[in-house]
A and B are shown apart, each in its own frame.
Chain A
């Protein structure tokens, strides 16, 4: 049986990247099928990609150091790219970045295509660069990612530690696109994950038509800053 609002539903193997223009009013659902996934994500205004996800603006507008339901992801232009409308995890990292080829080699040793074929060892930075390249974007467009399903916990002194087992099998997060948002992601292990073995986890991706933003929408009204962010976004499209 197919859902009326379903646009797309597909698996993303561990180690793979993915991208799509999520139109204003569409809903992206990510499911951590087995638990322990890391989905490193970059977001851009698809109509004018010089406008992009801004980690500091997102954190300081909402007085948070992590992403969860009720939060929105701000662009550098004061607009809301996506709202996190539901989340069973409670904490998604956006302050510790991604693995690159050098750090992966140091951690896991070599994992070449020649012997491993499509189970070869991919890393988030290179995956995201490949996917960005498809839209004419590159290193200068690469900023802080949202690392869905990952928690790197700060203590009172600001020291950080990766939380193993944070995201359980079946955990899911849903993003509603408030702009035409180019979303680029890589399903590859976080560099602070203590697992010494390269073991990316499968993720299920689906896209639906979202319900219209209700007058009492939780993301829009979670703080006065978000009410203004939505007002600026609505003005952009009016």
Chain B
């Protein structure tokens, strides 16, 4: 696991905001701009999808990204590959070390399967994605919500074919940074999950910056 810091100065960022625990977000990041996500309090999962801003039928593809790098976890130098085989963004700095793209997003219905039938009422990442696209991204619908990236989340896979949701390996102030290789829409759910250790059972805010 290789950690890489960034030389970018937050004072110089053109966009700088804090996204509260359990909230959704979307924004266009232009080609050549860099997006940083900071895990302010540690162990926060940040569920993230990307779309080509000019043609949203082209989108982040977890399986094409995994195959392109022949590796399951994302870190520095990972190209984030689209459904059309193009590079949407490249991870340029990472002080956490690895990020998940197999665990997907929590949803009311999958929470029922995973935890208990009576968990349906709980807030979820898919509800954040749907609320954000209903209000602000009318070109998108549920069918555009495919397997996402979970920044800062730890989902180890074993050679025997096992998969687990483990305690995070992130910590307060750790960040991941990526450069857009085309104009992209970033769609984020700052995960509200309370049932597993993906965010330490304690959803917390993250900071989003763009240079």
Where the two chains meet, the residues of A that have a C-beta atom closer than 8 Å to any C-beta of B are 50, 52, 54-57, 59-61, 63-66, 68, 74, 76-79, 91, 95-98, 100, 102-103, 138-145, 153-161, 191-192, 225, 228-229, 231-232
Contacts and interface: CB of A to CB of B under 8 A. Distances in A.
6 contacts: A55-B102, A138-B57, A154-B159, A159-B70, A228-B117, A232-B117
Contact of A140 (B71, B110, B143, B156): B143
Contacts of A155: 159
Contacts of A225: 113-114
A157 B158 CA distance: 9
Contacts of B112: 78, 228, 232
B163 A65 contact: yes
Interface string B62-86: 1110110011110000000001110
Nearest to B62: A144
Interface residues of B, number: 47
Interface string B1-40: 0000000000000000000000000000000000000000
B110 A95 contact: no
Most chain A C-beta atoms within 10 Å of own C-beta, residue among B62, B146, B159: B146
Given A50-B142, A60-B114, A229-B113, 7 more contacts: A50-B143, A55-B63, A65-B158, A74-B110, A95-B62, A97-B66, A225-B113
A91 B72 contact: no
Contacts of B107: 57, 76, 78
Interface in B73-132: 73, 83-85, 98, 102-105, 107, 109-110, 112-114, 116-117, 126
B161 A66 contact: yes
A140 B60 CA distance: 11
B199 to A, nearest CB: 15
Contacts of B58: 139
A129 B105 CA distance: 25
Max count, chain A CB within 10 A of own CB: residue among B57, B114, B126: B114
Contact of B71 (A141, A158, A192): A158
Contacts of A160: 66-67, 70-72
A144 B63 contact: yes
A103 B126 CA distance: 32
Most A-side CB within 10 Å, residue of B62, B126, B143 = B143
B144 interface: yes
A55 B104 CA distance: 8
A61 B114 contact: yes
A143 B83 CA distance: 9
Contacts of A144: 62-63, 146-147
Question: Which 7 pairs across A and B sit closest by C-beta, in order of nearness?
Answer: A56-B104, A78-B109, A97-B63, A158-B72, A66-B161, A65-B157, A65-B163
Nearest to B72: A158
A195 B141 CA distance: 39
Contacts of B142: 50, 76
Contacts of A103: 85
A56 B57 contact: no
Contacts of B138: none
B44 interface: no
A97 B165 CA distance: 23
Given A50-B142, A96-B63, A97-B64, A158 B73 contact: yes
B170 interface: no
Contacts of B113: 57, 61, 74, 78, 225, 228-229, 232
B66 A95 contact: yes
Contacts of A161: 70
Contacts of B147: 54-56, 143-144
Interface string B144-177: 1111100000011111011111000000000000
